[in-house]
C-alpha cells in the first residue's frame, strides 16, 4: 500500500505540472525578421500567459496585432515594449532612442546591414496615455511596429516571451537592463514559474518511478513467499 500511495502521488504531481505547463505556456513560431537577433526567423519562442501581470519597458510581449492604432493585419505578433503609459518616447538623439529624455543603450538591437537603414532611424515623438504601450522590433530597419502603426492598448498584450526553443526544452530569454540602467523604473518580467515546474515535474517523476519499482519488487517477493508456502516442507 505504501508503494501504491507513492506511485499515485508521483503520478498526480507529474500530471498536475504537465497540465500547468501546457495551460500557462505556449510555443510561438517566429514568422519573420522583425525581432532578429533576439528571436530568429523560423525559430520557436516560449510564451507565458500574462494573467494580469504588469507590463514593463524591455519586455518582449505577445499581442493582438489588430490592436495597433492603425493596424495593417490581424493575428498574434511579438515585439519589445520600449515605452509605457505616461512616457514620452522619441528617436533619435545621437542615434539612440530616448524615453522621457533619457537615452537608451539598446544592446539587443540587430547590428546587420539594416541597422543603419533609413527606416531604423525614422524620427518620431510620441506621448503615451495611461494604458498604452509603444512596441518596436529589434530589427528596426525591417519592422512594421508602433513607429508606423501607432500605440497598442496594454489590454491587448496576452503574454510574455520568456524563452527560445520548444516548450519541452527552452532556453531562458535574457532580460535587458537597458531601461533601468538609464534610470527608468520597472524591470522586465522575470519568469520563475517554469524553472520551478521543471523541478516539481522531476520530483513527481522520481516518486512515480520509485513507487512503481517498489510495488513490483514487493509483488515479486510476495509471490515468491506464496510459492514456497504452497510447496510445503520438503519430503523425507
- Distance, in Å, from the CA atom of 201 to the CA atom of 219, rounded to the nearest integer, reads 27
Pairing label, strands 171-172, 96-99: unpaired
Cell numbers for 84, please give them: 509605457
Q: Which of 34, 50, 70 is nearest to 157 (CA)?
A: 50
- Domain match, 183 and 96 both: yes
Q: How far is CA 63 from the centre of its chain?
A: 13
Is 235 domain-assigned? Answer: no
Q: Is the pLDDT of residue 22 over 90?
A: no
- Is 101 found in the same domain as 3? no
% of the chain exceeding 90 in pLDDT: 55
In a domain, 118, yes or no: yes
C-alpha distances in angstroms, 225 versus 39, 118, 128? 61, 84, 78
| Same domain (yes/no): 115, 212 | no
Between CA 41 and CA 48, with CA 43 as vertex, the angle to 5 degrees is: 115
pLDDT in tens, 103-139: 999 999 988 766 777 778 889 999 999 999 999 999 9
- Close Cβ partners of 214 (under 8 Å, ≥ 6 residues apart): 2, 3, 6, 7
Lowest mean pLDDT, pick from 31-35, 118-122, 132-136, 171-175 = 118-122
136 and 43 within one domain: yes
**What is the model's pLDDT at position 236?**
46
Phi and psi, residue 151, nearest 5°: -75, 170
CA 64/CA 226 separation, integer angstroms: 66
Shared-domain flag, residues 100 and 16: no
Mean pLDDT of the chain: 82
Could you tell me the pLDDT band of residue 95, with boundaries at 50, 70 and 90? Answer: confident
pLDDT number for residue 24: 81
Name the grid cell of 225: 513467499
pTM here is 0.78
By the 10 Å C-beta count (0-12 exposed, 13-18 middle, 19+ buried), 168 is classed as: exposed
Residues 88 and 18 in one domain: no
Note whether residue 236 is domain-resident. Answer: no
Note down the domain range covering 3. Answer: 1-24+194-226
Nearest residue to 80 via CA among 32, 22, 143, 17: 143
pLDDT digits (tens, 9 = 90+) for 183-208: 999 999 998 876 665 655 555 555 55
Predicted confidence at residue 35, as pLDDT, reads 95
Residue among 93, 69, 85 nearest 133 (CA)? 85
**pLDDT tens column, 40-93:** 999 999 999 998 899 999 999 999 999 999 999 889 999 999 999 999 999 988
Shared domain for 60 and 111, answered yes or no, is yes
**For residue 5, is it within any domain?**
yes
Do residues 180 and 199 share a domain? Answer: no
Radius of gyration of the chain (CA): 26
Classify residue 137: in a domain, yes or no.
yes
Amino acid at each position: 500500500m505504501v508503494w501504491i500511495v507513492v506511485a499515485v502521488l508521483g503520478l498526480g504531481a507529474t500530471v498536475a505540472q504537465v497540465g500547468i505547463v501546457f495551460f500557462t505556456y505556449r510555443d510561438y513560431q517566429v514568422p519573420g525578421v522583425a525581432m532578429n537577433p533576439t528571436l530568429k526567423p523560423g525559430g520557436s519562442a516560449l510564451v507565458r500567459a500574462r494573467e494580469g501581470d504588469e507590463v514593463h519597458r524591455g519586455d518582449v510581449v505577445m499581442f493582438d496585432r489588430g490592436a495597433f492604432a492603425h493596424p495593417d493585419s490581424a493575428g498574434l505578433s511579438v515585439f519589445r515594449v520600449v515605452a509605457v503609459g505616461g512616457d514620452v518616447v522619441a528617436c533619435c538623439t545621437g542615434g539612440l532612442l530616448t524615453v522621457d529624455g533619457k537615452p537608451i543603450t539598446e544592446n539587443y538591437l540587430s547590428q546587420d546591414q539594416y541597422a543603419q537603414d533609413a527606416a531604423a532611424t525614422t524620427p518620431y515623438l510620441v506621448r503615451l496615455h495611461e494604458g498604452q504601450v509603444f512596441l518596436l522590433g529589434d530589427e528596426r530597419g525591417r519592422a512594421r511596429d508602433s513607429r508606423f502603426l501607432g500605440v497598442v492598448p496594454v489590454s491587448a498584450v496576452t503574454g510574455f516571451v520568456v524563452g527560445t526553443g520548444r516548450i519541452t526544452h527552452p532556453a531562458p530569454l535574457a532580460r535587458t537592463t537597458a531601461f533601468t540602467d538609464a534610470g527608468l523604473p520597472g524591470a522586465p518580467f522575470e519568469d520563475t514559474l517554469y524553472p520551478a515546474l521543471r523541478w516539481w515535474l522531476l520530483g513527481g517523476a522520481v516518486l512515480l518511478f520509485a513507487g512503481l519499482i517498489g510495488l513490483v519488487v514487493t509483488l515479486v517477493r510476495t509471490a515468491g513467499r506464496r510459492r514456497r508456502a504452497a510447496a510445503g516442507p520438503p519430503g523425507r
